[in-house]
Amino acid sequence: MRIIFLRCIGALAALLMVAGAWGATITYQLSGVVFDDGGTASGGFVYDTISQTYSSLNITTTVGTTHPGFSYSDANIIGGDAFNLDLSSAAPNWFDNPGDNAMDWAYGTSLDLGGTVSLISGITPSGEAVCAFAPCDFLMGDLVIRDMTSGVLQQVVPIPAAVWLFGSALGLLGWMRRKTA
């Protein structure tokens, strides 16, 4: 009887984890994001796992030794999918004029899975750039780039889901106890 109970709890937990990760939208918050010039980033966004689009984006970078900092919103999204996000103050272009800011993030794993996602993927560095000189060409050295040295995206778990999970566990425990009595 005890083995059946443990299997039921395990199956319910697995089902809830999969259902949460494969929902239509996932809310992410930045945590511990630091750039190599001492600046930081904070904020978050909503990611749609079906259309692989971003919304409700509100990310602010702070002043560092090489960058002035900038506040990014939905209007600054120029591209992205489950493995990267591109933002620019000159959207829909990367850069138009000196002083324009842009961010490029590469994730270690897909956002579709939920949970905690590293912004330090090891494949392509995530970072922010500012155009210092026209024509704002990366290959010409017109950009000042700062790389992220730490940071993750953390899935925000809504409280109603946690309450539902707790209530379900209590109900299942009550049902199992009543069945054995």
Residues 25/47, Cβ–Cβ less than 8 Å: yes
Distance CA 5, CA 10 (A): 9
CA distance 110 to 127: 18
Q: Which amino acid is at 25?
A: T
Instruction: Give the contacts of 138 (CB within 8 A, at least 6 positions apart).
Output: 129
Q: What is the pLDDT of residue 7?
A: 56
Nearest alpha carbon to residue 111 among 100, 119, 103:
119
Can you read off the two tokens belonging to residue 150? 């730490």
Which residues does 141 contact at the CB level (< 8 Å), separation at least 6? none
Global pTM value: 0.74
Helix (H) or strand (E) holding 131: strand 127-131
What are the residues facing 88 on neighbouring strands? 102
Q: What pLDDT score does 106 carry? A: 87
Q: Which two tokens stand for residue 79?
A: 């591209």
The alpha helices in the chain, defined as continuous H runs, are 2-21, 159-180
* pLDDT (tens place) for every residue of the chain, 181 residues total: 555 554 545 554 544 444 444 458 999 999 999 999 999 999 999 999 999 999 999 999 999 999 989 999 999 999 999 899 999 999 998 898 999 999 999 887 889 989 999 888 767 778 999 999 888 888 888 999 999 999 999 999 876 656 666 667 767 777 666 666 5
